[in-house]
Homo-oligomer: A and B are copies of this chain.
Amino acid sequence: MPELRRDPVVGRWVIISTERARRPSDFPPREVRRRGGPCVFCAGQEENTPPEVWALRQGGHDNGTGWQVRVVPNKFPALRIEGELEPAGEGLYDRMNGVGAHEVIIEAPEHDASLERLSVEHLAGVLRAFQARMVDLAQDPRLDYVMVFKNHGEPAGASLEHPHSQLIATPIVPSMVADELAGGLQHFRIKQRCIWCDIVRQERHGQARLVCQDGGFMAVAPFAPRFPFETWILPVTHRSSFPDTTAVELFALARVVGHVLRRMAAVLNDPPYNLMLHSAPLRTPALQHFHWHIEIIPKLTNAAGFEWGTGFFINPTPPEEAAAHLRDERGAS
C-alpha cells in the first residue's frame, strides 16, 4: 500500500509509492527506455490494460476497439482506490494510507498521434474526458482534489510514447492549489475581485504577454514565470471549476490549447512539456476567488540546487519575449 507522509516543518505531503519501490540498482541510466512488445495503449490492445472507466467511442463495445479517447486505471498507480485513509501519528510525524485514484487518459488510438495535431473535435473529446472523470471522482467522499496533467517526452517525465494524459485524485488539497486558493482569497477580501480576472484584464490591456485569444479563452505568458516559455490558458470570464465548462466552450478551449502547443512545437522544435489543469477542489460550490486555468511548461531548463533550496526560479527568457515568439500574426485558428 502506498503511503502519504507529511513533512512536520513545512507541512508538505509526499507519496511514498511502494508500488514502484526502487532499490538503488533500479534507477536507470539516463537514456530513453523502450518497452518491449506492442504498446498496450494502441487500438487492439484493450485487453492488456485494466478495464476502461470512460471512453469516447463512435462504435464498438466497452473495452473493444472503435474508441477515440479512452480512460483506464494506471497499472502502476501512485495511489490506490481501495481502502480507508486511517490517518495516524508517529511521534512528530503524520501519515495516512495512500488512498486515491491514478488514471491514464489515452488521447488517441494511434501510437504516433499527438495532442496538438488532433482535430479540434477530437481534442475537445480529450478535454471532455478530463471533465467526466472529475465529475465521477467527486462522488468519492475520500477524495478532495483531482490534478489532471500531461508529461510529453521523456525529459518531461513520460515513460510511454503513446499520447496520453494522467490524473491523480488525492485525499488532500495539494499545497500549490492551497497556496493559490489562499492568495486568491486574500486578494478577494481586499478588492472584492478575482485576482485571475484582474490578470486577464491587465494582460488584455497591455498585450505584451498575450499569446492568443479565441472564443472566451486566452493564452498568456505570466508576469513571473518559473520557466522559459511557461504559458497559462484561462477562461476570460470568471469560472472556478473546470467541469462547469460547456460543450461549446470546450471546443474553443481545444482550439486555444492546440494552437499554443503547435506554436511551442514550431518555435521550440517540438519540446518535451508538462501541462497541468488547476481547478477548484472537488465538491466546492462556485468560488468567487478562484479561477481555473491550465499551465503549460516546456522542459527547456532543469531545476537545480538554487531552485530546490529556495523556491526561487531563475528564468533566462523574459515572458514578453516568449509571448512575442509564440504569437502568431495569423491568429489562433
- On A, residues with C-beta under 8 Å from B are 3, 5-18, 20-24, 27, 30, 78, 90-93, 145, 147, 149-151, 155-158, 166, 168, 170, 174-177, 179-180, 183-184, 187, 195-196, 198-199, 202, 206, 222-226, 228-229, 267-269, 271, 274-278, 295, 297, 300-306, 308-319, 321, 325
Contact = CB atoms under 8 A, between A and B. Distances in A.
14 contacts: A5-B223, A8-B199, A10-B176, A14-B314, A20-B314, A24-B267, A27-B300, A91-B202, A150-B305, A168-B306, A170-B310, A174-B310, A175-B310, A295-B309
5 nearest CB pairs, A to B: A157-B304, A149-B305, A276-B309, A174-B310, A274-B305
Contact of A15 (B21, B27, B187, B313): B313
Contacts of A206: 91
Contacts of A8: 183, 187, 195, 198-199, 223-224
A145 B149 CA distance: 34
Nearest to A184: B9
Contacts of A9: 179-180, 183-184, 187, 195-196
B183 A11 contact: yes
A269 B11 CA distance: 32
A12 B179 CA distance: 10
A13 B224 CA distance: 7
A220 B222 CA distance: 39
Given A9-B180, A199-B92, A16 B151 contact: no
Contacts of A297: 308
- Copy number in this complex? 2
**Chain A contact residues: helix, strand, loop or mixed:** mixed
Given A12-B226, A302-B157, A309 B147 contact: yes
Contacts of A306: 78, 147, 149, 166, 168
A222 B147 contact: no
Given A8-B223, A310-B147, A195 B276 contact: no
B92 A27 contact: no
A201 B15 CA distance: 24
Nearest to A225: B14
A10 B179 contact: yes
Given A10-B180, A183-B9, A196-B9, A17 B315 contact: yes
Contacts of A149: 304-306, 309
B224 A7 contact: yes
